[in-house]
Structure 1
Amino acid sequence: MAIKKGDKLPSTTLSRMGENGPEKVETDALFAGKTAVVFAVPGAFTPTCSARHLPGFVDHLDAIKAKDVDMVACLSVNDVFVMNAWGKSADAKGIEMLADGNGDFAKAMGLEMDGTGFGMGTRSQRYAMIVKDGVVSELFVEEPGAFEVSSAEHVLKAL
Protein backbone atom coordinates (compact mmCIF):
# COMPACT_ATOMS: atom_id res chain seq x y z
CA MET A 1 0.00 0.00 0.00
CA ALA A 2 1.35 3.41 -0.97
CA ILE A 3 2.21 6.01 1.61
CA LYS A 4 -0.26 8.87 1.94
CA LYS A 5 -0.55 12.33 3.40
CA GLY A 6 -0.27 12.18 7.20
CA ASP A 7 1.85 9.00 7.24
CA LYS A 8 5.29 8.80 8.83
CA LEU A 9 8.10 8.06 6.39
CA PRO A 10 9.42 4.50 6.52
CA SER A 11 12.61 3.87 8.46
CA THR A 12 15.23 2.87 5.91
CA THR A 13 18.83 3.60 5.02
CA LEU A 14 19.83 5.77 2.07
CA SER A 15 23.28 6.81 0.85
CA ARG A 16 24.84 10.12 -0.05
CA MET A 17 28.32 11.24 -0.98
CA GLY A 18 30.12 12.75 1.97
CA GLU A 19 33.44 14.57 2.13
CA ASN A 20 35.26 11.26 2.63
CA GLY A 21 33.20 9.10 0.27
CA PRO A 22 29.85 7.33 0.47
CA GLU A 23 27.98 7.55 3.75
CA LYS A 24 24.83 5.90 4.97
CA VAL A 25 22.02 8.03 6.35
CA GLU A 26 18.99 6.82 8.27
CA THR A 27 15.72 8.39 7.11
CA ASP A 28 14.54 8.89 10.69
CA ALA A 29 17.58 11.05 11.47
CA LEU A 30 17.66 12.78 8.08
CA PHE A 31 14.11 14.14 8.35
CA ALA A 32 13.84 14.63 12.13
CA GLY A 33 12.89 18.18 13.07
CA LYS A 34 13.11 19.43 9.48
CA THR A 35 10.80 20.61 6.76
CA ALA A 36 11.95 18.95 3.56
CA VAL A 37 10.95 18.82 -0.06
CA VAL A 38 11.81 15.47 -1.59
CA PHE A 39 11.41 14.60 -5.24
CA ALA A 40 11.94 11.12 -6.59
CA VAL A 41 12.82 10.20 -10.13
CA PRO A 42 12.93 6.90 -12.03
CA GLY A 43 16.60 7.33 -12.87
CA ALA A 44 19.55 9.69 -12.89
CA PHE A 45 20.61 10.87 -16.33
CA THR A 46 17.29 9.76 -17.88
CA PRO A 47 15.64 12.22 -20.31
CA THR A 48 12.81 13.87 -18.32
CA CYS A 49 14.70 13.62 -15.04
CA SER A 50 17.80 15.36 -16.47
CA ALA A 51 16.14 17.84 -18.80
CA ARG A 52 13.26 19.00 -16.60
CA HIS A 53 12.84 17.49 -13.13
CA LEU A 54 16.21 18.10 -11.44
CA PRO A 55 16.87 21.39 -13.31
CA GLY A 56 13.52 22.77 -12.11
CA PHE A 57 14.54 22.24 -8.49
CA VAL A 58 17.99 23.71 -9.16
CA ASP A 59 16.34 26.80 -10.69
CA HIS A 60 13.80 27.21 -7.87
CA LEU A 61 15.95 26.13 -4.93
CA ASP A 62 16.21 29.59 -3.36
CA ALA A 63 12.47 30.25 -3.69
CA ILE A 64 11.66 26.87 -2.13
CA LYS A 65 14.08 27.37 0.75
CA ALA A 66 12.61 30.84 1.33
CA LYS A 67 9.36 29.06 2.28
CA ASP A 68 10.96 27.76 5.53
CA VAL A 69 12.22 24.57 3.88
CA ASP A 70 15.36 23.21 5.54
CA MET A 71 16.30 20.66 2.90
CA VAL A 72 15.57 19.82 -0.73
CA ALA A 73 16.46 16.26 -1.68
CA CYS A 74 16.49 14.30 -4.93
CA LEU A 75 16.00 10.57 -4.55
CA SER A 76 16.50 7.78 -7.07
CA VAL A 77 17.08 4.04 -7.22
CA ASN A 78 20.67 4.48 -8.34
CA ASP A 79 23.97 4.03 -6.56
CA VAL A 80 25.63 6.83 -4.62
CA PHE A 81 28.33 7.34 -7.27
CA VAL A 82 25.77 7.88 -10.04
CA MET A 83 23.74 10.26 -7.87
CA ASN A 84 26.87 12.22 -7.00
CA ALA A 85 27.96 12.47 -10.65
CA TRP A 86 24.46 13.50 -11.72
CA GLY A 87 24.30 16.19 -9.06
CA LYS A 88 27.66 17.59 -10.18
CA SER A 89 26.69 17.50 -13.87
CA ALA A 90 23.46 19.40 -13.09
CA ASP A 91 25.20 21.90 -10.77
CA ALA A 92 22.75 20.83 -8.06
CA LYS A 93 24.57 22.56 -5.21
CA GLY A 94 22.34 22.72 -2.15
CA ILE A 95 20.25 19.70 -3.15
CA GLU A 96 20.81 16.44 -1.26
CA MET A 97 21.40 13.74 -3.87
CA LEU A 98 20.15 10.60 -2.13
CA ALA A 99 20.74 7.09 -3.43
CA ASP A 100 18.19 4.36 -2.77
CA GLY A 101 20.55 1.79 -4.25
CA ASN A 102 18.44 -1.32 -3.72
CA GLY A 103 15.07 0.42 -3.90
CA ASP A 104 14.32 -0.27 -0.24
CA PHE A 105 12.85 3.20 0.35
CA ALA A 106 10.77 3.08 -2.86
CA LYS A 107 9.37 -0.31 -1.83
CA ALA A 108 8.69 0.80 1.75
CA MET A 109 6.86 3.85 0.38
CA GLY A 110 4.78 1.63 -1.91
CA LEU A 111 5.92 3.82 -4.80
CA GLU A 112 8.15 1.47 -6.75
CA MET A 113 7.68 0.86 -10.46
CA ASP A 114 8.63 -1.98 -12.75
CA GLY A 115 11.17 -0.70 -15.24
CA THR A 116 12.26 -4.14 -16.45
CA GLY A 117 10.73 -3.49 -19.86
CA PHE A 118 13.32 -0.72 -20.27
CA GLY A 119 16.18 -2.72 -18.75
CA MET A 120 16.04 -0.66 -15.56
CA GLY A 121 14.76 -3.19 -13.00
CA THR A 122 12.68 -1.92 -10.12
CA ARG A 123 12.77 1.86 -9.79
CA SER A 124 10.90 4.63 -8.02
CA GLN A 125 7.81 6.24 -9.41
CA ARG A 126 8.12 9.95 -10.14
CA TYR A 127 6.76 11.98 -7.23
CA ALA A 128 7.42 14.89 -4.91
CA MET A 129 6.47 15.36 -1.28
CA ILE A 130 6.67 17.87 1.49
CA VAL A 131 7.84 16.27 4.72
CA LYS A 132 7.57 17.87 8.16
CA ASP A 133 9.48 16.18 10.97
CA GLY A 134 9.36 12.84 9.16
CA VAL A 135 5.64 13.00 8.32
CA VAL A 136 4.27 13.47 4.79
CA SER A 137 2.29 16.71 4.71
CA GLU A 138 1.80 16.77 0.92
CA LEU A 139 2.32 14.05 -1.69
CA PHE A 140 2.26 14.51 -5.46
CA VAL A 141 2.54 11.22 -7.38
CA GLU A 142 2.70 11.36 -11.16
CA GLU A 143 0.66 9.19 -13.46
CA PRO A 144 2.91 6.91 -15.56
CA GLY A 145 4.71 8.96 -18.20
CA ALA A 146 3.53 12.30 -16.79
CA PHE A 147 5.52 15.22 -15.42
CA GLU A 148 3.25 17.83 -13.85
CA VAL A 149 2.45 17.53 -10.14
CA SER A 150 5.99 16.64 -9.03
CA SER A 151 7.59 19.66 -10.68
CA ALA A 152 9.39 22.32 -8.66
CA GLU A 153 6.82 24.87 -9.77
CA HIS A 154 3.90 22.78 -8.52
CA VAL A 155 5.60 22.07 -5.19
CA LEU A 156 6.47 25.74 -4.75
CA LYS A 157 2.79 26.67 -5.11
CA ALA A 158 1.88 24.07 -2.45
CA LEU A 159 4.33 25.43 0.14
Structure 2
Amino acid sequence: MTIGKKVPFVTFRTRVRDSSIAGPNPHRWENKTSSDYFSGKRVILFSLPGAFTPTCSTYQLPDFEDLYTEFLKEHIDEIYCLSVNDAFVMNAWSRAHGLTKVKLIPDGSGEFTRKMGMLVAKDNFGFGMRSWRYAAIINDGVVEQWFEEEGFSDNCEIDPYGITSPQNVLERLKGQAVA
Protein backbone atom coordinates (compact mmCIF):
# COMPACT_ATOMS: atom_id res chain seq x y z
CA MET A 1 0.00 0.00 0.00
CA THR A 2 1.32 3.40 -0.83
CA ILE A 3 0.97 6.68 1.00
CA GLY A 4 -1.79 8.80 -0.53
CA LYS A 5 -3.82 5.80 -1.68
CA LYS A 6 -7.43 5.29 -0.58
CA VAL A 7 -8.16 2.12 1.40
CA PRO A 8 -10.27 -0.46 -0.44
CA PHE A 9 -14.02 -0.50 0.00
CA VAL A 10 -15.24 -3.76 1.53
CA THR A 11 -18.05 -4.94 3.77
CA PHE A 12 -17.05 -6.54 7.07
CA ARG A 13 -19.39 -9.04 8.78
CA THR A 14 -19.41 -8.14 12.47
CA ARG A 15 -21.29 -9.41 15.51
CA VAL A 16 -22.66 -6.84 17.95
CA ARG A 17 -24.24 -7.27 21.34
CA ASP A 18 -28.02 -6.80 21.29
CA SER A 19 -29.88 -6.79 24.62
CA SER A 20 -33.16 -7.55 22.84
CA ILE A 21 -31.86 -11.05 22.04
CA ALA A 22 -32.37 -13.60 24.80
CA GLY A 23 -30.17 -16.59 25.51
CA PRO A 24 -26.49 -17.33 25.87
CA ASN A 25 -25.42 -15.52 22.66
CA PRO A 26 -27.13 -12.10 22.61
CA HIS A 27 -25.46 -10.90 19.42
CA ARG A 28 -26.67 -10.09 15.93
CA TRP A 29 -24.94 -9.74 12.59
CA GLU A 30 -24.12 -6.21 11.47
CA ASN A 31 -22.44 -5.20 8.24
CA LYS A 32 -19.82 -2.47 8.53
CA THR A 33 -18.02 -0.98 5.57
CA SER A 34 -14.64 0.61 5.04
CA SER A 35 -16.47 3.94 5.03
CA ASP A 36 -17.93 3.25 8.48
CA TYR A 37 -14.44 2.73 9.90
CA PHE A 38 -12.32 5.20 7.94
CA SER A 39 -14.40 8.08 6.56
CA GLY A 40 -14.29 11.46 8.26
CA LYS A 41 -11.71 10.60 10.89
CA ARG A 42 -8.00 10.04 11.43
CA VAL A 43 -7.33 6.52 12.66
CA ILE A 44 -4.62 4.00 13.27
CA LEU A 45 -5.16 0.63 11.67
CA PHE A 46 -2.83 -2.18 12.66
CA SER A 47 -3.11 -5.63 11.20
CA LEU A 48 -1.58 -8.81 12.49
CA PRO A 49 -1.40 -12.53 11.69
CA GLY A 50 -3.96 -13.78 14.18
CA ALA A 51 -5.97 -13.35 17.35
CA PHE A 52 -4.67 -15.19 20.39
CA THR A 53 -1.16 -15.55 18.92
CA PRO A 54 1.85 -14.76 21.16
CA THR A 55 3.25 -11.45 19.85
CA CYS A 56 -0.19 -10.11 18.99
CA SER A 57 -1.69 -10.96 22.40
CA THR A 58 1.31 -10.23 24.59
CA TYR A 59 2.60 -6.99 23.09
CA GLN A 60 0.92 -5.39 20.11
CA LEU A 61 -2.79 -5.37 21.08
CA PRO A 62 -2.36 -4.65 24.81
CA ASP A 63 0.23 -1.92 24.16
CA PHE A 64 -2.05 -0.12 21.70
CA GLU A 65 -4.83 -0.33 24.33
CA ASP A 66 -2.50 1.00 27.07
CA LEU A 67 -1.21 3.89 24.90
CA TYR A 68 -4.64 4.87 23.54
CA THR A 69 -4.83 8.24 25.34
CA GLU A 70 -1.33 9.12 24.12
CA PHE A 71 -2.49 8.54 20.55
CA LEU A 72 -5.55 10.76 21.10
CA LYS A 73 -3.16 13.60 22.01
CA GLU A 74 -1.64 13.18 18.51
CA HIS A 75 -4.97 13.84 16.79
CA ILE A 76 -5.99 10.20 16.38
CA ASP A 77 -9.74 9.54 16.63
CA GLU A 78 -9.80 5.73 16.78
CA ILE A 79 -7.49 2.73 16.84
CA TYR A 80 -8.50 -0.41 14.95
CA CYS A 81 -6.92 -3.85 15.00
CA LEU A 82 -7.66 -6.01 11.96
CA SER A 83 -6.98 -9.69 11.50
CA VAL A 84 -8.02 -12.39 9.06
CA ASN A 85 -10.23 -13.97 11.71
CA ASP A 86 -14.01 -14.20 11.91
CA ALA A 87 -16.22 -12.01 14.10
CA PHE A 88 -16.64 -14.74 16.74
CA VAL A 89 -12.88 -15.06 17.25
CA MET A 90 -12.33 -11.30 17.28
CA ASN A 91 -15.12 -10.77 19.84
CA ALA A 92 -13.72 -13.53 22.06
CA TRP A 93 -10.24 -11.99 21.80
CA SER A 94 -11.63 -8.57 22.75
CA ARG A 95 -13.37 -10.07 25.82
CA ALA A 96 -10.23 -12.02 26.79
CA HIS A 97 -8.23 -8.76 26.86
CA GLY A 98 -11.00 -6.64 28.39
CA LEU A 99 -10.66 -4.10 25.59
CA THR A 100 -12.45 -0.81 26.05
CA LYS A 101 -10.57 1.47 23.63
CA VAL A 102 -9.10 -0.41 20.65
CA LYS A 103 -11.79 -1.73 18.33
CA LEU A 104 -11.32 -5.02 16.49
CA ILE A 105 -12.23 -5.52 12.84
CA PRO A 106 -12.88 -9.07 11.61
CA ASP A 107 -11.63 -9.65 8.07
CA GLY A 108 -12.90 -13.21 8.02
CA SER A 109 -12.58 -13.74 4.29
CA GLY A 110 -9.34 -11.76 3.99
CA GLU A 111 -10.89 -9.52 1.32
CA PHE A 112 -9.69 -6.22 2.83
CA THR A 113 -6.24 -7.67 3.54
CA ARG A 114 -5.96 -8.99 -0.02
CA LYS A 115 -7.01 -5.65 -1.50
CA MET A 116 -4.45 -3.91 0.73
CA GLY A 117 -1.82 -6.18 -0.84
CA MET A 118 -0.94 -7.70 2.54
CA LEU A 119 -2.40 -11.23 2.33
CA VAL A 120 0.25 -13.92 2.76
CA ALA A 121 0.28 -17.68 3.16
CA LYS A 122 1.24 -18.80 6.65
CA ASP A 123 0.75 -22.51 6.02
CA ASN A 124 4.09 -23.20 7.68
CA PHE A 125 2.46 -22.15 10.99
CA GLY A 126 -0.84 -23.91 10.22
CA PHE A 127 -2.70 -20.63 9.69
CA GLY A 128 -3.52 -20.63 5.98
CA MET A 129 -3.93 -17.17 4.44
CA ARG A 130 -3.36 -14.32 6.89
CA SER A 131 -2.30 -10.72 7.09
CA TRP A 132 1.31 -9.61 7.08
CA ARG A 133 1.97 -7.39 10.08
CA TYR A 134 1.48 -3.71 9.18
CA ALA A 135 0.12 -0.46 10.61
CA ALA A 136 -1.15 2.71 8.96
CA ILE A 137 -2.33 6.16 9.83
CA ILE A 138 -5.45 6.64 7.73
CA ASN A 139 -6.95 10.10 7.36
CA ASP A 140 -10.48 10.18 5.92
CA GLY A 141 -9.89 6.87 4.15
CA VAL A 142 -6.49 7.80 2.70
CA VAL A 143 -3.19 6.29 3.86
CA GLU A 144 -1.15 9.06 5.46
CA GLN A 145 1.66 6.96 6.97
CA TRP A 146 2.65 3.33 6.44
CA PHE A 147 4.51 0.88 8.70
CA GLU A 148 5.34 -2.61 7.44
CA GLU A 149 7.47 -5.30 9.00
CA GLU A 150 10.41 -6.45 6.91
CA GLY A 151 10.49 -9.78 5.11
CA PHE A 152 7.04 -9.72 3.50
CA SER A 153 6.64 -13.16 1.94
CA ASP A 154 4.55 -16.30 1.93
CA ASN A 155 5.50 -18.82 4.61
CA CYS A 156 8.10 -16.52 6.17
CA GLU A 157 10.02 -18.48 8.81
CA ILE A 158 9.90 -15.59 11.28
CA ASP A 159 7.25 -13.17 12.51
CA PRO A 160 9.09 -9.84 12.65
CA TYR A 161 7.81 -7.22 15.08
CA GLY A 162 9.10 -3.76 15.84
CA ILE A 163 8.28 -1.36 13.02
CA THR A 164 4.55 -1.77 13.74
CA SER A 165 4.86 -1.56 17.51
CA PRO A 166 2.62 1.08 19.09
CA GLN A 167 5.72 2.68 20.61
CA ASN A 168 7.26 3.16 17.15
CA VAL A 169 4.03 4.45 15.62
CA LEU A 170 3.57 6.90 18.51
CA GLU A 171 7.16 8.12 18.26
CA ARG A 172 6.68 8.81 14.55
CA LEU A 173 3.41 10.66 15.20
CA LYS A 174 5.01 12.82 17.89
CA GLY A 175 7.76 13.77 15.45
CA GLN A 176 5.31 15.04 12.87
CA ALA A 177 3.14 18.14 12.99
CA VAL A 178 -0.49 17.75 11.92
CA ALA A 179 -1.57 20.10 9.14
The alpha carbon displacement at 1:14 in A equals 1.8
Unaligned runs of 5+ in 1: none
For each residue in 1:60-111, what CA deviation from the matched residue of structure 2 results, as whole angstroms up to 9, or x when unmatched?
Answer: 0111122121110000000101101111111221111100001001100000
> What is the number of equivalent residue pairs in this alignment?
157
Larger Rg: 2
TM-score, normalised to structure 1, is 0.94
The alpha carbon displacement at 1:6 in A equals 0.8
Aligned 1:23-102 pairs, distance under 5 A: 23-102=30-109
Residue 150 (structure 1) aligned with residue 170 (structure 2) = no
TM-score, normalised to structure 2, is 0.84
The alpha carbon displacement at 1:143 in A equals 1.8
* Greater relative CO (CA pairs within 8 A, separation 6+): 1
Between the aligned residues of both structures, percent identity stands at 39
Runs of 4+ aligned residues of structure 1 deviating over 6 Å after TM superposition are: none
The alpha carbon displacement at 1:24 in A equals 1.6
Structure 1, 72-81 or 18-27: larger mean CA deviation: 18-27
Unaligned runs of 5+ in 2: 19-26, 152-158, 174-179
Structure 1, 141-150 or 105-114: larger mean CA deviation: 141-150
Q: RMSD in angstroms over aligned alpha carbons?
A: 1.2
Q: Give the alignment partner of residue 13 of structure 1, picking from 11, 14, 20.
A: 11
* Residues 16, 97 of structure 1: 8 Å contact kept: no
The residue number in structure 2 matching 1:117 is 124
3-state SS in 2 of match to 1:15? strand
For each residue in 1:4-55, what CA deviation from the matched residue of structure 2 results, as whole angstroms up to 9, or x when unmatched?
Answer: 1110000111233323233221102321110000110100000111111101
